[in-house]
Structure 1
Amino acid sequence: MPAAFNGAVAKRWVATRYGDLDGLELQEVELPAPGPGEVTISVRAAGMNPADYKRVLQGTDTSALPHPVGFEVAGELTALGEGTEIASGRGSIGDRVLAFRISGGYASAVTVPAKDVFALPDALDFPEGANLLLAGCTAAEMLHVTGARAGETILVHGASGAVGVSVLQQARQLGVTVIGTAGEHNLDVVRRFGGEAVTYGPGLADRVREAAPEGVAAALDTVGTDEAVDVSLELVADRSRIVTVAAPARAKQDGFRAIGGAMPESAAYRDRVRADLIAMAGRGDLVVPMARTFPLDQGREALDLLQSQHPGGKLALIP
């Protein structure tokens, strides 16, 4: 039995059915001891992402039920499997860590593959660490597949959201200028993170042209509206430089790229960039704006706010 493991019972949120959030239940489960290549984490914060409720609402594989919810956490190591190191090297009981991509993060404790666990930089608290990587890896891949490079100007739809804010910060490190769309009340968020803000709505293409008279080299869509897609197609001639994470049907129809964490190529890229993003955050070059935290037992209420699409920053569940 690995040191410091006490066979504890953990609480975790699971979906007992798909199609609505009413089927979510907070259950007690026996926490498995970590074997070789695994570690156990006492969760101090569970990150929350739209992918969490989308999986519950859109899931179809009933054989996977009850389905644990949540892809990323931050907390403290409580046990390591024999001969196991975490992804960033070594690891000791009590170390502060973050983990992504895992299953069942909405929990008080998790036993997960050590390859998905990294040391948490001192610059980040637990809620920030728990919300760094899903949005950050998505943003990194969007910049990667569109080939954004120094000196270019790109268009980002939904630049005030979690992925958009990460794109803004990562683009700045690359020397890329961002024109970012947002609602009137979120324009200051775009500006705060270095983008030139424009409001979405009728006349968007003209406002982008005014903001970037030399044109935009690429378009990154995080919202999936027809307006976002239509404006991207109007302003970017090379469809290989248009990407969406929210409108896969339009991407297939109109011949541009859609990416997602469930796609093997996307998953492989996102896994590769995790350590780089953590290092960036540790230097203070990538921050995670937090809006609110909730106790773990208020998971449904937190998801209701997240689903409203106006949380004003990232959310976390605190066991």
Structure 2
Amino acid sequence: MPKAYVFTRNGGPETEALVEREVPAPGPGELLVAVRAAGVNPVDWKLRSGFRRPGEGPPVFPAVFGSEVAGTVERVGPGVEGFEVGQAVFGTPRTGGYTEYTVLSAEVTALKPDGLSFAEAAVLPVAAATAYDGLQQLGPAGGSTLLITGAGGGVGVAAVQIARHMGVRVVGTAAADKKAFVESLGAVHVPSGPGVAERVRAAAPDGVDAVFDLVGGDTLKEVAELVTDRTRLISAGGKPLAVELGGAAVVRARNAAVFDEVARLAVGGALRTFVTGSYPLDRAAEALRAVESGHTQGKIVIEMG
């Protein structure tokens, strides 16, 4: 039977296991996909630890890790149009990503362009799509200055690149050891940590026009003071706090049209995926530990044999 990497209860790494499970069946509006690659994200271990997305109920155990995949269509469920068996696709799985077969809703599935590998396509639905949605929400004008906190993380790296493609000047906060990397993306690097607002003022003496926060907490509180118009403040890192401060949470579109657009940017070279590590499914624990450590640069994927 196909294998899947799961967590059997909420907790730490001791709850994880590689198991066998039946091939899931696609229902109306769904696709069964043979997974070729799955992205590994911080939200994966956070869900294992007990985090819940707004409006989400408790998990059904064992729960398969993973929120983004790329693969080939194996079966098409009732009522699905625009997809055929054998097509290469990517999107957000309903039945986990660290597995050999999963089910996706056709509404959040896009065709994989020939110019992207399965690994490259697999890392677009979470970080890159969040970055794209946030920038569409802010709508920064060309020539304006945007502050991105957490510019060295997965969403931040994508946000910097897309914003620069839009002609926006970007100031990005990140750890000191990510300075060269953040600058290579075209952003002005500002070291993260206490006192970050003053360092941003020094780096952007004319001020910033908008803030895209990916950190939350004390960092968000500090940088919020940099924009007098709090409608120009959005956050994916501290959503309730952003609202308290007069800003807004990033609103996710969660549709195939966004996936198509970020794929177009990637194929065109405006968005580099930075896949820096690949693991087979039987080493999924190592892949997850690499991301959970918080020290990775770039994206980690699990690739099926």
TM-score (norm: length of structure 1): 0.86
Tell me, yes or no, if structure 1 residue 21 matches structure 2 residue 13. yes
Tell me, yes or no, if structure 1 residue 133 matches structure 2 residue 125. yes
Does 74-83 or 126-135 show the bigger shift? 74-83
* Equivalent residue number for residue 112 of structure 1: 104
* Equivalent residue number for residue 263 of structure 1: none
TM-superposed deviation, 1:168 = 1.0
- 2:207 is paired with a residue whose SS is coil
Q: Identical aligned pairs, as a percentage?
A: 38
* Equivalent residue number for residue 281 of structure 2: 296
Verify the 8 A CA contact 1:156 1:181 in the aligned structure 2: yes
Give the Cα separation in 2 of the matches to 1:36 and 1:127: 27
Pairing 1:161-172 to 2, within 5 Å after superposition: 161-172=153-164
Give the Cα separation in 1 of the matches to 2:79 and 2:147: 47
Q: Which amino acid is the alignment partner of residue 48 of structure 2?
A: V
Tell me, yes or no, if structure 1 residue 282 matches structure 2 residue 267. yes
* Equivalent residue number for residue 84 of structure 2: 91
Does 148-157 or 106-115 show the bigger shift? 106-115
CA deviation digits over 1:165-212, x for unaligned, max 9?
A: 110111122221110111121112211111111212344223222222
Q: Which runs of 5+ in 1 are unaligned?
A: 1-8, 260-265
CA deviation digits over 1:98-153, x for unaligned, max 9?
A: 12253311101113223322221222212211101210111122223333222210
Tell me, yes or no, if structure 1 residue 315 matches structure 2 residue 300. yes
Give the Cα separation in 1 of the matches to 2:70 and 2:59: 29
CA deviation digits over 1:202-250, x for unaligned, max 9?
A: 4422322222221101111112241x21331221111221122122343
Give the Cα separation in 2 of the matches to 1:188 and 1:128: 23
Q: Which runs of 5+ in 2 are unaligned?
A: none
Tell me, yes or no, if structure 1 residue 199 matches structure 2 residue 191. yes
Give the Cα separation in 1 of the matches to 2:238 and 2:58: 25
* Equivalent residue number for residue 270 of structure 1: 254
TM-superposed deviation, 1:19 = 2.8
- 2:113 is paired with a residue whose SS is coil
TM-superposed deviation, 1:82 = 5.6
Match of 2:23 among 12, 15, 31: 31
Structure 2 CA distance for partners of 1:81 and 1:103, relative to 1, 3 Å: closer
TM-score (norm: length of structure 2): 0.89
Match of 2:212 among 220, 232, 241: 220
